[in-house]
Each structure stands twice: as structure tokens, then as C-alpha cells.
Amino acid sequence: MSKNIDDLSEIELSRQKEPSEEAELTGWQGAIGKFFQFRRYHTNFRTEILAGLTTFMTMAYILVVNPLILSDAIFISQPKDLFTELVVATAISAAIGTLVMALYANYPFAMAPGMGLNAFFAYSVVITLKIDWRLALTAVLGEGLIFIVLTLTSVRRQIVNAIPLVMKSATSVGIGLFIAYIGLSGDPKVGGAGIIVANQATKTGLGNLKEPATLMAIFGIFIAAAFLARRVKGALLWAILATALLGWILGVTPWPEGIAQIPTYPKDLIGQAIGGITQLNANNFLDFLAVLLVFLFVDVFDTVGTLAGVGLRAGYVNEKGEMDRVDEALLADAVGTTAGAIMGTSTVTTFAESAAGVEVGGRTGFTALIVSLLLIVSMIFIPIFKAIPPYATTPALVITGVLMMSAITSIRWADPAESIPAFLTIFLIPLTYSIATGLAAGFITYPIVKSFQGKAQEVSIATWILAAVFVARFVFMSTRFG
């Protein structure tokens, strides 16, 4: 989407003033710059590396949180006995998907096992439905293979391009609020910000500002704001590191227990998704099919929403509302999910936290390549990354949310056919903790309001079909999973 320069953030302005390095570099550096098209995207090594570091730091929590969630359901004799193997499986599956995104799609998007889907896998599928975790991994594998087929037939690209431009803008804003909400609402008992907490009377409320973790998160936001105001390069990354270091010094959270450790080979996880098919029988077939379809649907539209929203912010969406290389990006997602299932983890999807790297200036696959390399290296330095408290990432997530709000100006709020679907999308993405649900609300509402205006002919057939799919999804979910 072409942008007016007045709509660009301060970070984007400063980035565009920097000359591209591609023309100046020779040898292997010049080859890398040419491969990732640094000149075309007005970027350079320094910016891309900072963007990769920032994205990694905002998503590094998944290396610990995903194993914590999955190890309640994936174990041999007792919960948590495969935790260290799950750490390695998480890192490798995320690295594979992100590497494909980097080299094949040339987008700065990182991938990892999705939050929400991992909880659904552990608590709804394995614990509640009592589906063996190996068979549950088979469902994830089946989903990934179906994704590959849908991508190769361009079905998923057509879905992305069928999203009206107003919905892309609304999704971008909704994702910004979503990741800011994640940063603000972490549980202070485990190092989260605790600025937003659950409240029995008002649903949510202001947390206890006397909590050390909460104070650190607030202080970190001011650090990030100061760095951003002064146009410090890598402001979000430095804010994360400064907040974590201060928390260690003040004793709010403990220092790392070590520097490095030898990764645990996931021998009990690799290949279980393939062997899990032996657990399928007449009694659990319908539940298995339902689970596979839920994984399929949520992953498709979480990824589509993230690509549309963050892609718009990065300037990848043209004046027609279309993105280049969508098939490549979606195939990276499909490969990541398939590889993740084989490694022994739940659905791998494009991470919304990629927006943090985009805001720093990441525009090419080299950003994703840096993230992929850091994911591999992180398996050795898990003690350090594990010691970085969640409140340290709050500044980056909140500021990213602020910057992504700029897309709201492109929505025509005087037109009910745009304002109502846009509002529902923006509102529901953070409050339902699901990009897919917010996108569904907007998609269902958009053609209906257009019809009320007597403009049904302006709605594409693809949009009507997707709206019907979303309605069917809600009916299916309510009848199958309550």
C-alpha cells in the first residue's frame, strides 16, 4: 500500500534517510544485500540485525512458555518430564519455519508455536477430550500437510487478497492492541507486568502498582519512550535489555543461573506425530477430525490476519490491497507447522510480535534469518533467555502497539460499512485473545452492512464465501466444544 510520508512513524522516517548498503558492499556482503534486496526496501545490515534482535527478544518467552504449557499434556510418566526436550523442539521448529520465511518469502516475519493453540492442544484436546498426545500431534501434522496443499493451489493467497483493505487496516490496529495487551497483562507472580489484571467486579482492572514487577514494567515503558523520542537506534531492543538488567540488579528477578547448557535431544518427541496415527480408532475418530479442523481454521486465519496486518504496516500491501509473495509466506507457515508436528510441538504460526522488528525497520528476510539463527543459538543459552523476565518485554510490546495504531487513520469512520466491521475487529482481537476471532467478526459484519446500504454488489464473491465460512466455524465450535 503506498503511503503518504506524513503517515510514517519517526522510526520509518529516520530509516529511509539512511542510504542503502547494497551498492557499497562487495563480496559476500554484497551478495547478501542483493539476495535480500536491501536497495529495494531501503534497508541495511545494521537495521536488519537490530530488527532481528528486537523480534527475537519480544518472542523469546515462547521458548519457556510453550514447553511449560505443553509439558502438562506431553509427558512419559509425569508432567514436565519432557520439558527440556520441548524447549529444543520449540526452538528448532520455530527456526525451521522462520528460515523458510527468510530465504523463500523474503519477509521479516518470525514463526513459532502459537500461543492459544498450544493451550488448546494441552488442555482441551489432550486433557479434556483425553486424546493421546501422540494422536494430537498427528492432527497437527495433518493440518500442516493440508496447509501445504492449500498453499500450492493458491487457495490461501486468494483468502489474503479477498480481505478488504479496511479489514487489513483494522487487523493491523487490532494486532497492535493485542500485543500491547499481552505485554501489560502478564501475571506479576511469574514476572509479568501486572498492569492490567483480572477483576471479579469489572472483568479487568488496574493492577497493584506496588508490585516490583509492575513498577519495573512501567519504568521500562518510560525507558523505551525516552529512547524512541531521542531516535536511538534499536530503541525497543535496548529498552528490553535495560529493563531486564535493572530488574536483576535490584533483585526483582534472579540473575541467570548460568550462561550455557547442553541441549537435550528430543528423542521422545521426534516422529511421534507419525506413529500417533496408530492411536486412532472408531471411538475417537470424530473428536480427532474436529480437532484437526479447529487447528486448520485457527492457524489459517491467525496467519492470514498477521500477514495482512503486519504486512500493511511494513508497506507490503499495494493500492489494491494485495501482497506480493503471499504464497511463499503461507508455505513457510505450512512447512513450519509440519516440521513442528514432527519435532513434537503444537501448531507453528506467524508471530504477531514480528511487528516489533518491523517497527525497528526490518523489511527483508534477513531480519527473519537473524531470528532463526538466534533461535538455534538460544538452545545453548537457555539459562540467560529464561532469566529475562516477561516484564522486560512489556516496553517493546506497548510501544509497538502505539506505532501500529497509525493504520487507524486510513479507516473511513463516517462510513458504517467500514467503521462497524473495523471496530469489531479492533475490539475483539485483544479481548478474545484471538486474531482469527476478531477477523471473523469483521468479515461477517462487512458484507451485511454493505447490503444494508444497498451496495451488496461491491462485495466480492470471495468475501461472501469467507463470511459464510466464519459463520460455519462459530456454529461448529459451539456445538463441538461448547
E strands within 260-392?
348-350
Q: What is the pLDDT of residues 47-90, one digit of tens each?
A: 999 999 999 988 887 888 788 779 889 999 988 889 889 999 99
- β-pair type (111-113, 348-350): antiparallel
Between CA 181 and CA 177 the distance in angstroms is: 6
Q: Which amino acid is at 355?
A: A
Residue 391 clears pLDDT 60, i.e. is over it: yes
Residue 432 clears pLDDT 90, i.e. is over it: no
- Which residues face 113 on adjacent strands? 348
Query: How many other β-carbons are positioned within 10 Å of the β-carbon of residue 437?
Result: 23
Report the pLDDT averaged over residues 439-451: 90
Q: Left, alpha or beta for 74 (phi > 0: left; psi -120 to 50: alpha)?
A: beta
Question: What pLDDT score does 3 carry?
Answer: 43
Torsions phi, psi for 29 (to 5 deg): -70, -40
Question: What pLDDT score does 321 carry?
Answer: 66
Report the pLDDT averaged over residues 235-256: 88
Question: What pLDDT score does 308 carry?
Answer: 77
Residue 6 clears pLDDT 80, i.e. is over it: no
DSSP state of 348: E
Which position has the higher pLDDT, 473 or 287?
287
- Calculate the average pLDDT of the chain: 84
Q: Model confidence at 9, in pLDDT bands (50, 70, 90)?
A: very low
In b/e form, how buried is each residue of 59-74, taking b as 16+ CB within 10 angstroms? Answer: bbbbbbbbbebbbebb
Q: Model confidence at 20, in pLDDT bands (50, 70, 90)?
A: very low
Question: What pLDDT score does 103 carry?
Answer: 96
Residue 367 clears pLDDT 90, i.e. is over it: yes
Cell digits of residue 214: 509492575
User: Which of these, 113, 108, 112, 111, lies nearest to 52 by C-alpha position?
Assistant: 108
Which residue reads 513498577 in cell numbers?
Answer: 215
Q: Give the contacts of 478 (CB within 8 A, at least 6 positions apart).
A: none
Q: Which amino acid is at 464?
A: W
Which position has the higher pLDDT, 47 or 18?
47
Question: What percentage of the chain has pLDDT greater than the value 70?
Answer: 92
Q: What is the pLDDT of residues 459-469, one digit of tens each?
A: 888 788 878 88
Question: What pLDDT score does 419 carry?
Answer: 94
Between CA 220 and CA 240 the distance in angstroms is: 7
Question: What pLDDT score does 89 carry?
Answer: 95
Report the pLDDT averaged over residues 108-115: 90
Question: What pLDDT score does 481 carry?
Answer: 61
Query: How many other β-carbons are positioned within 10 Å of the β-carbon of residue 243?
Result: 27
Question: What pLDDT score does 482 carry?
Answer: 57
Between CA 369 and CA 348 the distance in angstroms is: 17
Which position has the higher pLDDT, 14 or 340?
340
Question: What pLDDT score does 10 carry?
Answer: 45
Question: What pLDDT score does 7 carry?
Answer: 44
Q: What is the pLDDT of residues 159-217, one digit of tens each?
A: 777 778 788 888 878 878 887 888 898 788 877 888 998 888 888 889 888 899 999 99
Cell digits of residue 4: 503518504
Q: What is the pLDDT of residues 278-310, one digit of tens each?
A: 988 888 887 788 788 778 877 777 787 788 778
User: Which of these, 395, 390, 403, 303, lies nearest to 355 by C-alpha position?
Assistant: 403
